[in-house]
Structure 1
Amino acid sequence: MLVGVPKEIKVQEFRVGLVPAAVRELVHHGHEVWVETGVGLGIGASDADYQAAGATIAPDADTVWARAQLIVKVKEPQAVERQRLRADQILFTYLHLAPDLAQTQDLMASGATCIAYETVTSPNGGLPLLAPMSEVAGRLSVLAGAQALQRHAGGSGVLLGGVPGVAPAQVVILGGGVVGMHAAAMALGLGAQVTVIDRNLEVLRRLWTQFGHGLRTAYATRDAIEQHAAQADLLIGGVLVPGAAAPKLITRQTVSQMRAGSVIVDVAIDQGGCAETSHPTTHDAPTFVVDGVVHYCVANMPGAVPRTSAFALGHATLPFVLALADHGLQALRDDPHLRQGLNVHRGRLTHPGVAQALDRAYLDPLAALSL
């Protein structure tokens, strides 16, 4: 199969769909890999590195999209990229369709097979292709929040860890999953006072056991969220419903009751955000202020550390990329966990969470693959 890797064109996105080592594995399996010139510069990989791994260097994105049978990316295809998709192509990337009707309609119109990293599952019920970026985003959320808390950035001027004689910042994390766990680890490491709120008591027990008495936990009720948000210096939203829109746990009224200069980092913004006041931002202009509260809502947070992110993501995606390259659509029929990643096929929505979020008809993926 001919596998294509175009450069990412989303603002300030420097990650890459395949690192040179992954290209070498694909070539070893007998596949042809075309990468756009300069695709790896953001992670420190030159065209020569890709050529040494066996790739063919394409002069531009049009060449990659025109030749490839399997397109491997990182971020959702932008409007100009969606117009290049064909019905005989497989697209493998993050999609986050639930809050993005325009993208969904374009992907359906293309007739292509579109597989979303974020809904591929694992035998233990996890999300193996979302987890690496959730780990990165969880850690970055604390660093981004710490910077936004600085006075020159619009924050209240609070240092996360405090100093002797001055209390540390209050960090509240909504969701104790992968994002929440890594955010807690980073915030505790910096000396903040940390509370994780979740509706799953087993998750709270696991975190309490892992981090000990230094971590506070709270069961997720509306009262708990409102009360802790009102005292938070930094509020991190890390909730997730796979494939579906993020629940709006932070209401506009809750934001209005938060302290001036406090910060919300909405890691769930890819799925629409968990705060009613959130909207996507970019690394070029990462924050905005509502009711005196600084909001950081960058939709591709891990893109700030592309080298770490690209290698972490590549290690997770490679087995699935190899399966798709080796077996094509049959890989989706054979592997129920990869099949969970199928969001669009031949003009049909094939993930129930996406279909429900967009109020569109849903077709079982196995039924869709038989069309």
Structure 2
Amino acid sequence: MTLKTVGFPISSKAGEKRIALTPKDVEQLSNKSQLYFESGYGEALNISDSSYEKLGCRIVSRDETLQQEIICAPKIGDEDFFYQIKPKQCIFGWIHAESNPKRMDYIRENEIIAYEWANMFNQSRNVFWKNNYLAGASAILHAFMSQGRLPANLKIAVIGRGNVAQGALAILNKYTNEISVFNRKQEDLFRSELYDFDVIVNTTLWDITRKDHLVYRSDLKKMRHGTFIIDIGCSLNGAIESSKLATYQEPIYQVDGVNHYVIDNTPSILYADASTAISSEVKNYLDLIIEGSENPILTESRVGQN
């Protein structure tokens, strides 16, 4: 059996501190010598290179990391090296190619083997659900901290009922708030109550083929003074027409008097918890990919197959 090698690069994405694999979970793998980590990989979590080396892993340069047959990175679709991935290399992470035609074309044209974490489901639940829960919780914490206040005594709409929404609600429910939760079949109901809310939290991924919106730019001037939109779904020009990506340095921007928070990697705010949750799942699939095997969860996650 020919074993493949896996490269773990440090993220180049601004504010991204999550890692895909911790030494604790490396211990449970059979093919430790096939793992190549960029020097300084665990630095943000105070994990030394020697913690990986003593388990039989390799510590190498960034260039050598990216030469491996499999590249594993949480936000791989957003990395600066994405379009340097070679034909027939394998990638394992959040790619989001299905909402990005340019990425999908690159994968197909180069016959890249692409395992999409967003498509990995076990009994109808995404295996990385803990990370998604943290996305909701950390977005609420960071959004309100960035305004110097607590999310208290507000009338709030939460759109969506998935893991991201549950994380957001875990924080919002700790304070005195009036919260309405809308599912995907209640878009008209939400629209009818739109101007009643102080805060609108969108947790849904928007279908990029849709041309309509849940909140239109023209709605903003009709909203309550000081209304706050927190778009965790980050579907640009999607559910919230006025959404555009913000940065950790300037997380809040204003359009027509309405504050917006749109950060696309909020779990990295709680990067230690998120890395632990991600690693605990990555370890379940690495040996299979290294050995050239799949299970139904991996098979169903592949994107870009012709």
Taking structure 1 as the reference length, the TM-score comes to 0.74
| Matched residue type, 2:182 | I
Q: Which residue in the other structure is 2:9 paired with?
A: 6
Q: Which residue in the other structure is 2:301 paired with?
A: 341
Question: Is the Cα–Cα contact under 8 Å of residues 13 and 80 in structure 2 kept in the other structure?
Answer: no
Q: Which residue in the other structure is 2:138 paired with?
A: 140
CA distance in 1, matches of 2:150, 2:271: 27
Q: Which has the higher contact order (CA 8 A, sep 6+)?
A: 2
CA distance in 1, matches of 2:280, 2:89: 23
Residue 274 in structure 1 maps to residue 239 in structure 2: yes
| Matched residue type, 2:53 | Q
CA distance in 2, matches of 1:245, 1:233: 27
Q: What is the DSSP-based 3-state SS (H/G/I as helix, E as strand, rest coil) of the residue aligned with 1:71? A: strand
The structure-2 alpha-carbon separation of the partners of 1:286 and 1:149, relative to structure 1 and needing over 3 Å to count, comes to closer
Question: Is the Cα–Cα contact under 8 Å of residues 159 and 181 in structure 2 kept in the other structure?
Answer: yes
Residue 125 in structure 1 maps to residue 121 in structure 2: no
- 1:1-371 pair list within 5 angstroms: 1-26=4-29, 28-29=30-31, 31-59=33-61, 61-66=62-67, 68-78=68-78, 80-122=80-122, 124-129=123-128, 131-150=129-148, 159-161=150-152, 168-199=153-184, 220-222=186-188, 224-240=189-205, 244-245=207-208, 248-269=213-234, 273-326=238-291, 328=292, 330-331=293-294, 335-345=295-305, 348=306
Q: 1:213-240: CA deviations, max 9, x gaps? A: xxxxxxx132x22343312222110114
Report deviation, 1:74: 0.5
Structure 2 unpaired stretches of 5+: none
Higher mean displacement: 32-41 or 280-289: 280-289
Taking structure 2 as the reference length, the TM-score comes to 0.89
| Matched residue type, 1:160 | P
Matched-pair identity in %: 20
Over the residues paired in the alignment, what is the CA RMSD in angstroms? 2.3
CA distance in 1, matches of 2:32, 2:56: 11
Question: Is the Cα–Cα contact under 8 Å of residues 20 and 72 in structure 2 kept in the other structure?
Answer: yes
What count of residue pairs does the alignment treat as equivalent? 301
Provide runs of 4+ in structure 1 moved above 6 Å: none
Structure 1 unpaired stretches of 5+: 151-157, 162-167, 201-219, 349-371
Question: Is the Cα–Cα contact under 8 Å of residues 140 and 171 in structure 2 kept in the other structure?
Answer: yes
CA distance in 1, matches of 2:146, 2:32: 48
Report deviation, 1:72: 1.0
| Matched residue type, 1:229 | L
Report deviation, 1:70: 1.6
